[in-house]
């Protein structure tokens, strides 16, 4: 050896400060020129003061920060190394003075050597820790010589089938040809895997008994983290290099024998990915057949779908397929706008969106109705014979209980073809068969009866806290989250001086559930109490109605009987007219839920209340249902419990213009929480969170295994 080659030595560390002084002192005493030695410590986020200790005591050591992945840390050393040779040591080692020199000499004495390993002794200096790897069969491995008293039985320099990564020196040129450590292994079996590549490429691994290190610990014992990772990585290794044995290896794996099927399901996507890396077509086909047989025998169909989806989405970047089902898509409504807006936002975020309905409709109709852009969204119309025979325009899922077979079964069958199935309008009679399912519940109307499948959905989303509370009370289902509707009714220009209008916007329901009659009577009483209101204020009731509506006729009769008061009834206004009405009105009344014990008859959210607030119209609304989530009393509006409250709160603001202005500004500020942009952001974040949970391959992340081992909260 004419000159000493430069050697880079890497140490991977996590909270190992207490061991490092002994290690680096021993490295300072080795029989090797210090100027030909580069030392690197990769720290995996230590919290014990390691970095500060190294800076104060060993500032000649280069520090690299890394996340908690041992194989990645090794690669960082290789990529940063300036040496001709790259070696690794555990952080709880102490090296013999000839440790490095003896490994370097092997490279000069033998040809085609990729790496050299040491004799690793325990700290008593009598007991062997490892002199290499020993195959046990079924692709399990152990340390050769472990716990044997050293009597010279392994004192020879020889070719090895595997080297313990606790003390190893690599020829960097060989690593450049072989490639880096496979970071998917995280830790354990990463040395077995790279040894396989090394020997398959014709290189030799060698062991030198003259290179000695002393190891602090007797291994990790029954550590559950080590158990999980080593068993998982064994299967990755078999899938990649011995795929014709994959079925048997799954069956005799400790995970399978111990019944840990949830773990197997979670690690299966990466096993499949490793299988697809096999370059022999026959072995690949055999492996696929074996893994399919195992899945069919031990994993349920929906979980198999999710495994396949994780492979395609996480590892091969396939867009996520989402189906949104709304059985009344063909009718204009707030719930339909809610679903269509979700479709628009997901489409923008590059989800592959299909909109499913049961009556003929065109996407451009939805775009026109709700001011949306659905270009790129697919439309699928599925006719349901049972409902077609009934001849009703509106499909009522609750009628399904009367049918001998579930008439909504075709929707269930179609749902299986998507990654995520969104039941957008509470059709709980649809049993989801997709890997991930979401039920949007505006209010839990349906009873637990025949064909009730709400429990089968992975996530239930309500449109208000009120809806969430009743979903828990009625169905005993805890909502995953609530997503307030998107409200987009603000005018670009609000008049500086508004008109003295008290506005109410609600459908004229034949049963009177929106309480227009009660509001007319309240206005009559208000006018009797306050001459200012009688002379200067108008009550305007706006809303949609069917052609024959006895309730509406009753209201008109009362209005005509009080012709001296300014009361207007306006039906079926267009969007432009309605926006103009909001813009010029000062006060908004909403009485839905007044004197009602049935929670369904209270406002589940209150979209028209928000529409009014967006236009600086002060809401005075019933203190029940979802309205309490929208209006903060005295800040962004007023809440009333009875007619007396409605009148008294209105009197306050009609006679105090300063308070009226202040609360109107508060109402507009509060309404921003329910804007289209806010809704879209929440939709994006909600689906991102769900997709991360369901389609991200968590078993590629060390934190997954730390949580399973109760080492991470």
Contacts of 106 (CB under 8 A, 6+ apart): 113, 116, 157, 206, 208
593-614 as b/e: b if 16+ CB within 10 A: bbeeeebebbbbbbbbbbbbbb
Q: Does position 599 have pLDDT exceeding 70, yes or no?
A: no
Pick the CATH number of 320-482 from 3.90.1150.10, 3.40.50.2000, 3.40.50.300, 2.30.30.830: 3.40.50.2000
In a 3-state reduction of DSSP, which class is residue 71?
A: helix
Out of 105-119, 373-387, 695-709, least confident range: 695-709
Q: Does position 602 have pLDDT exceeding 80, yes or no?
A: no
- Predicted confidence (pLDDT) per residue in 453-483, tens digit: 999 999 999 988 888 999 999 999 999 988 9
Q: For position 712, what pLDDT does the model report?
A: 52
Q: Does position 299 have pLDDT exceeding 60, yes or no?
A: yes
Residues 226, 375: Cα–Cα separation, whole Å: 50
Q: For position 223, what pLDDT does the model report?
A: 85
In a 3-state reduction of DSSP, which class is residue 637?
A: strand
Q: Does position 333 have pLDDT exceeding 80, yes or no?
A: no
- Common-topology check for domains 7-220 and 320-482: no
Residues 575, 490: Cα–Cα separation, whole Å: 11
- Predicted confidence (pLDDT) per residue in 424-456, tens digit: 999 999 999 999 999 999 889 888 988 999 999
Q: For position 500, what pLDDT does the model report?
A: 96
Tell me the two tokens of residue 539.
């009550």
Q: Are 534 and 572 in contact (CB under 8 A)?
A: no
Contacts of 383 (CB under 8 A, 6+ apart): 358
Residue with tokens 């105090």: 656
Element (H, E) at 664: helix 657-671
Q: Does position 71 have pLDDT exceeding 90, yes or no?
A: yes
> Considering only CA atoms, which of 300, 305, 308 is closest in space to residue 272?
308
Mean per-residue pLDDT over the chain, rounded = 92
- Predicted confidence (pLDDT) per residue in 402-428, tens digit: 899 999 999 999 999 999 999 999 999
Average pLDDT of the residues in 263-278: 94
Q: For position 99, what pLDDT does the model report?
A: 98
Question: Pick the residue with more confidence: 626 or 664?
Answer: 664
Q: DSSP state, 313?
A: I
- Residue 222's pLDDT band, with cuts at 50, 70 and 90, is very low
- Residue 12's pLDDT band, with cuts at 50, 70 and 90, is very high
Q: Does position 172 have pLDDT exceeding 80, yes or no?
A: yes
> Which of 302-306, 380-384, 696-700 has the highest mean predicted lDDT (pLDDT)?
380-384
| pTM of this structure | 0.76
- Residue 369's pLDDT band, with cuts at 50, 70 and 90, is confident
- Predicted confidence (pLDDT) per residue in 558-582, tens digit: 999 999 999 999 998 887 888 899 9
Tell me the two tokens of residue 5.
């080659």
Q: Does position 394 have pLDDT exceeding 90, yes or no?
A: no
Q: For position 207, what pLDDT does the model report?
A: 98
Domain boundaries, the chain: 7-220, 224-299, 320-482, 501-674
Neighbours of 404 (CB within 10 A): 6
- Residue 220's pLDDT band, with cuts at 50, 70 and 90, is very low
Half-sphere exposure (CA, 13 Å, Cβ side) for 660? 19
Q: Does position 1 have pLDDT exceeding 70, yes or no?
A: no
In a 3-state reduction of DSSP, which class is residue 702?
A: helix
Average pLDDT of the residues in 345-366: 95
Q: Does position 176 have pLDDT exceeding 80, yes or no?
A: yes
Contacts of 574 (CB under 8 A, 6+ apart): none
Q: Does position 221 have pLDDT exceeding 50, yes or no?
A: no
Q: Does position 117 have pLDDT exceeding 50, yes or no?
A: yes
Contacts of 516 (CB under 8 A, 6+ apart): 504, 506, 508, 541, 543, 551, 555, 591
- Is the domain 7-220 a CATH 2.70.98.50 member? no
Backbone conformation region of residue 670, classed left if phi is above 0, alpha if psi is from -120 to 50, else beta: alpha
Element (H, E) at 567: strand 567-571
Q: For position 138, what pLDDT does the model report?
A: 92
- Predicted confidence (pLDDT) per residue in 38-59, tens digit: 999 999 889 999 999 999 999 9
Q: For position 711, what pLDDT does the model report?
A: 64
Q: For position 77, what pLDDT does the model report?
A: 97
CATH architecture, range 501-674: 3-Layer(aba) Sandwich (3.40)
Q: DSSP state, 633?
A: B
Residues 458, 471: Cα–Cα separation, whole Å: 15
Residues 490, 494: Cα–Cα separation, whole Å: 9
Q: Does position 291 have pLDDT exceeding 50, yes or no?
A: yes
Tell me the two tokens of residue 45.
């986020």
Q: For position 65, what pLDDT does the model report?
A: 92
The alpha-carbon radius of gyration of the chain (Å, integer) is 36
């Amino acid at each position: 050896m004419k000159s000493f080659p430069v050697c880079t030595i890497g140490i991977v560390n996590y909270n190992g400060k207490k061991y490092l002084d002994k290690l680096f002192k021993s490295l300072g005493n080795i029989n090797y020129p210090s100027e030909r030695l580069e030392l690197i410590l990769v720290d995996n986020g230590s919290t014990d003061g390691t970095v500060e200790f190294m800076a104060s005591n060993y500032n000649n050591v280069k520090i690299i920060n890394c996340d908690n992945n041992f194989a990645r840390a090794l690669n960082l050393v290789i990529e940063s190394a300036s040496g001709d040779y790259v070696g690794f040591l555990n952080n709880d080692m102490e090296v013999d003075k000839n440790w490095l020199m003896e490994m370097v000499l092997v490279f000069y004495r033998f040809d085609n050597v990729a790496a050299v390993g040491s004799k690793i002794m325990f700290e008593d200096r009598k007991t062997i820790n490892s002199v290499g790897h020993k195959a046990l069969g079924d692709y399990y491995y152990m340390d050769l010589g472990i716990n044997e008293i050293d009597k010279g039985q392994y004192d020879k320099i020889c070719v090895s089938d595997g080297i313990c990564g606790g003390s190893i020196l690599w020829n960097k040129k060989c690593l450049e040809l072989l490639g880096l450590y496979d970071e998917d292994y995280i830790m354990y079996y990463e040395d077995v895997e790279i040894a396989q590549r090394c020997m398959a490429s014709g290189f030799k691994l060698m062991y030198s008994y003259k290179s000695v290190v002393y190891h602090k610990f007797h291994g990790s014992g029954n550590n559950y983290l080590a158990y999980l990772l080593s068993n998982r990585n064994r299967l990755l290794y078999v899938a990649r290099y011995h795929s014709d044995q994959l079925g048997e290896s799954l069956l005799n794996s400790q995970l399978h024998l111990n019944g840990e099927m949830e773990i197997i399901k979670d690690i299966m996507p990466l096993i499949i990915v490793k299988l697809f890396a096999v370059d022999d077509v026959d072995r690949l086909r055999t492996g696929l057949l074996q893994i399919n047989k195992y899945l069919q025998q031990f994993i349920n169909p929906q979980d198999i779908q999710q495994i396949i989806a994780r492979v395609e989405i996480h590892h091969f970047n396939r867009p996520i397929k989402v189906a949104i089902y709304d059985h009344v898509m063909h009718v204009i409504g707030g719930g339909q706008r809610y679903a269509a807006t979700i479709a628009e936002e997901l489409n923008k975020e590059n989800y592959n969106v299909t909109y499913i309905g049961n009556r003929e409709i065109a996407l451009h109709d939805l775009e026109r109705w709700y001011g949306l852009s659905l270009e790129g969204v697919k439309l699928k119309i599925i006719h349901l014979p049972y409902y077609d025979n009934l001849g009703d325009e509106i499909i009522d899922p609750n009628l399904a209980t009367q049918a001998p077979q579930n008439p909504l079964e075709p929707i269930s069958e179609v749902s299986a073809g998507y990654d995520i199935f969104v039941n957008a309008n509470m059709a709980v009679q649809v049993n989801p068969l997709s890997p991930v399912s979401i039920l949007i519940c505006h209010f839990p109307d349906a009873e637990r009866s025949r064909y009730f499948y709400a429990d089968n959905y992975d996530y239930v989303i309500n449109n208000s806290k009120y809806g969430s509370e009743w979903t828990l009370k009625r169905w005993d289902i805890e909502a995953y989250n609530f997503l307030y509707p998107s409200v987009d009714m603000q005018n670009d220009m609000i008049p500086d001086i508004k008109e003295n209008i008290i506005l109410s916007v609600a459908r004229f329901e034949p049963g009177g559930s929106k309480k227009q009659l009660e509001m007319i009577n309240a206005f009559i009483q208000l006018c009797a109490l306050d001459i200012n209101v009688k002379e200067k204020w108008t009550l305007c009731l706006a809303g949609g109605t069917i052609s024959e509506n006895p309730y509406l006729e009753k209201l008109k009769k009362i209005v005509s009987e009080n012709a001296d008061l300014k009361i207007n009834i306006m039906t079926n206004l267009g969007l432009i007219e309605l926006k103009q009405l909001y813009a010029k009105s000062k006060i908004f009344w909403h009485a839905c839920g007044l004197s009602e014990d049935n929670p369904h008859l209270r406002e589940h959210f209150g979209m028209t209340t928000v529409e009014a607030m967006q236009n600086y119209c002060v809401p005075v609304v019933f203190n029940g249902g979802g309205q309490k989530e929208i209006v903060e009393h005295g800040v962004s509006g007023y809440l009333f419990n009875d007619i007396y409250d409605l009148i008294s709160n209105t009197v306050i603001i009609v006679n105090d213009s300063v308070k009226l202005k202040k609360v109107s500004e508060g109402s507009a500020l509060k309404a921003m929480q329910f804007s289209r942009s806010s809704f879209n952001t929440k939709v994006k974040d909600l689906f991102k969170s769900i997709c991360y949970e369901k389609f991200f391959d968590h078993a590629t992340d060390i934190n997954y295994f730390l949580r399973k081992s109760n080492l991470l909260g």
